[in-house]
Amino acid sequence: MTNWQDWLAIRAPVPLSLFFMKTNVTIRRAVPGDGEALALIGAASFLESYAGVVDGAGIIRHCAMKHAPAVYEAALADPAQSLWLAEMAPGSAPVGYLHLAPPDLPVKAAPGDIEIKRIYVLSRLHGMRLGRQLMETAVEHARARGHANLLLGVYKGNERALAFYGRMGFEALGERQFDVGGSVYCDWIMGRAV
C-alpha cells in the first residue's frame, strides 16, 4: 500500500474496498409486498446503530414490535404514509429506506408538516451520499404534496445522525422521551422548512 492508501484507509468513512467500488444503488417507491425487505433493513440498521447503547434484549423486543413485516405492510397500505426502498444491484438487496408519515411528535405540528419517521442506511454505505439522496427524496415529495416543514426525532446520543441532520438544515425544536424495549431514552425533535 502507498502512503495515500494508508492515509485513506485510516480516514475513509467507509471500508477502503467500498471507496473505490461504484455502488449501484437505486431508490424506488416501496409497494405492498415490500414489508419483508423494509423490516430486514429496519432491524439491521437499528441493531447497527444501537448495539452497545441499548440493552440487547431491548433491541430484540423493539425490532419485533416496530420492524416486523406486518408493521411495514400496514404503513404501505395507509395512503397518508409513503415509503421508499434503496436497493443495491446486482440482486436488489435492501440497503436503506425512507418513511414519511403524518407527525406523531410532542411538538405543535402545523397542518402542512410531515414527519420523517426513519431514514435508515446500512453503515457500510455511510459516506456514499445515500442518506442525502433519501433526504432529497423526502424534500421533493414534501414539496410536491404542499407540505411546509419536515420534522423528525433522533436519539440525542446519535452524533453521526445529528451531524447529518444539521448539514441538511434541521434545527432542534424540542425533546421527547422514547421507549426502546422498556428503557427510556431522550430524543431531539428537529425540523426544517421544505
Q: CA 96, CA 49: separation in Å to the nearest integer?
A: 13
* Residues 149 and 112: beta-carbon distance below 8 Å: yes
Which pLDDT does position 7 carry in this prediction? 40
Mean pLDDT of 1-6: 43
pLDDT of the residue at 23? 66
Mean pLDDT within 84-91: 95
Residue 181: the pLDDT is: 72
Contact 161, 172 (CB under 8 A): no
Give the N- to C-terminal CA distance of the chain in Å, as an integer. Answer: 45
Nearest Cα to 138, choosing from 159, 105, 115, 165? 115
Q: Quick one: which of 19, 150, 44, 59 has its CA closest to 97?
A: 44
* pLDDT value at residue 17: 41
Read off the pLDDT of each residue in 164-182 and give the average, rounded to a whole number.
Answer: 92
Q: Give the model confidence (pLDDT) of 91-133 as tens digits.
A: 999 999 999 999 999 988 888 899 999 999 999 999 899 999 9
Residue 179 to residues 10, 58, 63, 127, 155: CA-CA distances in angstroms? 36, 9, 12, 29, 11
C-alpha–C-alpha distance, residues 96 and 4, integer Å: 31
What is the reported pLDDT for 122?
95
27-70: pLDDT as tens digits: 999 999 999 999 999 999 999 998 988 889 999 999 999 999 99
Stated length of the chain: 194
d(CA 159, CA 155): 9
